């Protein structure tokens, strides 16, 4: 499978929780992110093409609020080849407020550890 992402995502070295805001249910933890998409680790598989309102919990050193919310579409979901109890899930960000996009930039700058080459 060839790389389709135009902007590389940054692996996140900080444990950040991701919630399905519509269902008010924790669904995973952020693994990498950029302004157009993210990869999350989850204990449960997600239906591909499903749209979500995701809530990403933040910290005071990157944001002026406890969380950001944005619309995202699940693009792929696969069982992690190393940790077989975990699913890797790729999302495309489809709607985000400008201020929340700035917070993502802060997250990438503060917690982004390296370029990630996972397929989006």
Parallel, antiparallel or unpaired: strands 87-95 and 37-42: antiparallel
pTM of the full structure: 0.83
Res. 112 pLDDT band, cuts 50 70 90: confident
- Over residues 68-89, the pLDDT tens digits come to 999 999 999 999 999 889 999 9
- Over residues 83-111, the pLDDT tens digits come to 889 999 999 999 999 999 999 999 998 88
The Cα–Cα gap between 65 and 15 comes to 17
Name the fold adopted by 10-113. Thrombin, subunit H (2.40.10)
The Cα–Cα gap between 49 and 57 comes to 23
**Could you tell me if 27 and 87 are in contact, meaning their C-beta atoms sit under 8 angstroms apart?**
no
Q: Which residue has the tokens 């995973």?
A: 28
In the chain, where the domains are located:
10-113
Other residues' Cβ atoms within 10 Å of the Cβ of residue 81: 8
């Amino acid at each position: 499978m060839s790389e389709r992402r135009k902007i590389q995502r940054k692996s996140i070295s900080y444990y950040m929780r991701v919630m399905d805001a519509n269902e008010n249910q924790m669904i995973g933890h952020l693994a990498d992110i950029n302004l157009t998409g993210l990869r999350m680790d989850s204990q449960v598989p997600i239906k591909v093409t499903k749209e979500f309102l995701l809530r990403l919990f933040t910290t005071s050193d990157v944001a002026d609020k406890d969380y950001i919310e944005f619309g995202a579409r699940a693009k792929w979901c696969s069982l992690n080849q190393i940790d077989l109890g975990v699913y890797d899930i790729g999302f495309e960000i489809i709607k985000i407020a400008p201020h929340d996009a700035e917070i993502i930039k802060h997250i990438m700058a503060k917690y982004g550890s390296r370029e990630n080459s996972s397929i989006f």
